[in-house]
Structure formats: C-alpha cells, structure tokens
C-alpha cells in the first residue's frame, strides 16, 4: 500500500479515538535478558516484551490493510551486533472493517545480541521501540526508550530465561528442502502450491488445516485467509491478489501457523 494511503487510513481510524487513554501507546515494553552477564564474542538470547492493553493490538511485519509494524532503533556500543527484532506467528483481526495481522495481550520479540570479542566491564544498550496500537475506537502511536545493562562474564541465567527460550521457539523457522512454495497468477488471483519432498511420515508438517500468513506486504489480499487443500504430495490454494499489488508478484514469503508437532514454518518463493 502506498505510504500516503496507509497514513490516511490510519488517520481516519484514529479520528474517533477517545481522549481517555489508560497510558500512552496502549502498551508497555521492556527488554529482557536470559543472562545478567555475557561472554565476549558469544551470542546471547534476549527479548523485548510488549504488554498490550485489553481490546487493543499492535502489528506484524505485514500489518495488512492498515497499521504499521513495530520497529526498533538500536543504540549499541561500538562492536555490538543485533540480529534484529524477531516476529512470532501473528493473529488475524479486523479493525474498523480493515484486515490486519498482529498481536494482542503479551508478546515477546526475540533479539539476539553479540558483544565484541574484546568486551570487558559493563555496557548499556538502548532500543527505541515504536509501534501503533489499534482498537475499535481508533489508533494511537507508541514509543519508548528501553535499556539493557550487561556485564562481561560467564553466563548467569535470569528468571526470564525460560520465557525467552519459549519465545525463540515461536519464531517461524525456514522450511528448508522439506516444503517448496511456488506461485502463479490467474487474472486477479494467486495460485499457491506447496510441494513436499519424499521423506519419513511425520518428518515434515502437513500444511492442510493450517492458516498461512503472507509476510510479504501487498501481494496477497489480507482479507482472505490462506488455507491449503491436498492432492497427492501437493497442497494448493487460490487467493485474491492484494488490491495494492504493483504488477505481477515477484516474491512471496508465507508463514505456516504452528501445529502440535511442528512450530510455525517460513516458506519463500521468488520469481525466476
């Protein structure tokens, strides 16, 4: 969706917002670490925890018809690296008639940090988190500057280590060679196919019965749930193209919802 169009739609949604806000941004964020200390040069697991007010939601990397994804501006000491903000599988919702993908309640966004190999002493890391919270009464932007203080040393697990580890398990993982996604077009529709490579039963998830979320914006219509039906070793689905698609589809990433035996999976197709 063109940026100006998205801004106008969000502005219209926000126009009826009540001024009796419980707190700015309708959410709070904090930075959690799996350890109070970090070994120089070795990655460590952290997460940004967002607690969203009841009746409100924030947005995924593909927000849908309106909304804005949660973003972070990192302010790290020299030599520190981050793997970026990890987005778990989203939920689908309608807000003022607009379809979107995102989160409600409490959500943890995993963040992998790596200090420099010569790190000693202590360091303060800063993240400026920006989000848009929406509900039936409208939308409000939120922003918070949060910090993480770490010292060099052998790992010393915190009380949050289990929650952070669980958050990493909820991240979509690449399907690899197990499942292959292809995309074709028929008029205003996308013809999606997933082919499974031969392998032991149960070694790969069955896409049937799982909803697939389009992580690539403005390719598939967010109003239509993507579900696959099986024929042989192939699962197919036909869905409308996004009304904001700029020409033929060139790339599409789908996130298959997690099931009992397998977590969420990520499949990516690129045009030849």
CATH of residue 55: 2.60.40.10
**CA–CA separation, 209 and 260 (whole Å):** 12
Domain CATH for 254: 2.60.40
* Contact between 101 and 92 (Cβ < 8 Å): yes
**Integer-rounded Cα radius of gyration of the chain:** 20
Q: How many CB atoms lie within 10 A of CB 107?
A: 25
Number of structural domains (the chain) is 2
Q: What share of the chain in percent tops pLDDT 70?
A: 88
**Does residue 3 carry a pLDDT above 80?**
no
The contacts of residue 23 (CB under 8 Å, 6+ apart) are 53
203 band by pLDDT with thresholds 50, 70 and 90: low
Q: How many CB atoms lie within 10 A of CB 23?
A: 10
DSSP state of 247: S
Of 169, 202, 218, the one marking the end of a domain is 169
Same domain, yes or no: 149 and 192: no
User: Where does residue 196 fall: left (phi above 0), alpha (psi -120 to 50 degrees), or beta otherwise?
Assistant: beta
**Does residue 199 carry a pLDDT above 90?**
no
pLDDT tens for each residue of 91-104: 999 888 889 999 99
Tokens of 52: 């969203």
| Strands laid side by side in the 44-52 sheet | 27-33, 44-52, 106-114, 81-82
**CA–CA separation, 23 and 86 (whole Å):** 25
The contacts of residue 255 (CB under 8 Å, 6+ apart) are 89, 90, 172, 212, 213, 215, 264, 265, 266
Q: What is the sign, positive or negative, of the torsion defined by CA atoms of 237, 224, 88, 115? A: positive
User: What's residue 261's pLDDT?
Assistant: 60
Place of tokens 């690449």: 174
Same domain, yes or no: 76 and 38: yes
**CA–CA separation, 192 and 158 (whole Å):** 44
Which domain range does residue 221 map to? Answer: 173-270
Same domain, yes or no: 92 and 106: yes
User: What's residue 96's pLDDT?
Assistant: 83
Over residues 131-139, the mean pLDDT reads 92
Same domain, yes or no: 210 and 115: no
Q: How many CB atoms lie within 10 A of CB 55?
A: 11
* C-alpha count within 13 angstroms, C-beta hemisphere, residue 21: 19
Same domain, yes or no: 144 and 246: no
pLDDT tens for each residue of 28-47: 999 999 999 999 999 999 99
Of 142, 169, 196, the one marking the end of a domain is 169
pTM for this prediction? 0.88
Same domain, yes or no: 29 and 121: yes
Same domain, yes or no: 99 and 53: yes
Of 150, 169, 188, the one marking the end of a domain is 169
* Contact between 62 and 69 (Cβ < 8 Å): yes
10 band by pLDDT with thresholds 50, 70 and 90: very low
17 band by pLDDT with thresholds 50, 70 and 90: very low
Same domain, yes or no: 76 and 203: no
6-10, 53-57, 70-74, 234-238: segment of lowest average pLDDT = 6-10
**What's CA 238's distance to the chain center, in Å?**
24
**CA–CA separation, 8 and 6 (whole Å):** 5
User: What's residue 94's pLDDT?
Assistant: 87
136 band by pLDDT with thresholds 50, 70 and 90: confident
112-116, 122-126, 194-198: segment of lowest average pLDDT = 194-198
Same domain, yes or no: 95 and 83: yes
Same domain, yes or no: 177 and 217: yes
Same domain, yes or no: 161 and 177: no
Same domain, yes or no: 130 and 232: no
pLDDT tens for each residue of 226-236: 999 998 889 99
């Amino acid at each position: 969706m063109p940026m100006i169009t998205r801004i106008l739609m969000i502005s219209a949604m926000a126009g009826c917002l009540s001024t009796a806000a419980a707190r700015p941004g309708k959410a709070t964020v904090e930075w959690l670490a799996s350890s109070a200390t970090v070994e120089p040069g070795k990655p460590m697991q952290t997460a940004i925890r967002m607690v969203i007010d009841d009746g409100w939601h924030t947005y995924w990397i593909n927000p849908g018809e309106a909304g804005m994804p949660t973003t972070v501006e990192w302010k790290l000491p020299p030599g520190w690296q981050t793997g970026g903000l990890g987005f778990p599988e989203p939920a689908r919702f309608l807000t003022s008639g607009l379809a979107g993908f995102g989160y409600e309640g409490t959500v943890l966004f995993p963040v992998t940090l790596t200090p420099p190999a010569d790190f000693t002493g202590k360091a303060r890391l800063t993240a400026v988190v920006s989000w848009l919270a929406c509900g039936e009464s409208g939308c409000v932007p939120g922003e918070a500057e949060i910090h993480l203080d770490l010292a060099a040393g052998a790992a010393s697990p915190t009380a949050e280590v289990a929650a952070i580890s669980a958050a990493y398990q909820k991240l979509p993982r690449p399907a690899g060679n197990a499942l292959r996604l292809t995309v074709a077009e028929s008029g205003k529709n996308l013809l999606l196919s997933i082919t499974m490579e031969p392998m032991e039963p149960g070694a790969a998830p069955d896409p049937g019965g799982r909803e697939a979320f389009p992580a690539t914006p403005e390719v598939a219509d967010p109003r239509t749930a993507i579900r696959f039906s099986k024929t042989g070793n192939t699962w197919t689905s036909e869905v409308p193209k996004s009304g904001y698609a700029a020409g033929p589809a060139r790339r599409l990433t789908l996130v298959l919802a997690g099931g009992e035996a397998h977590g969420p999976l990520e499949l990516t197709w690129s045009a030849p």
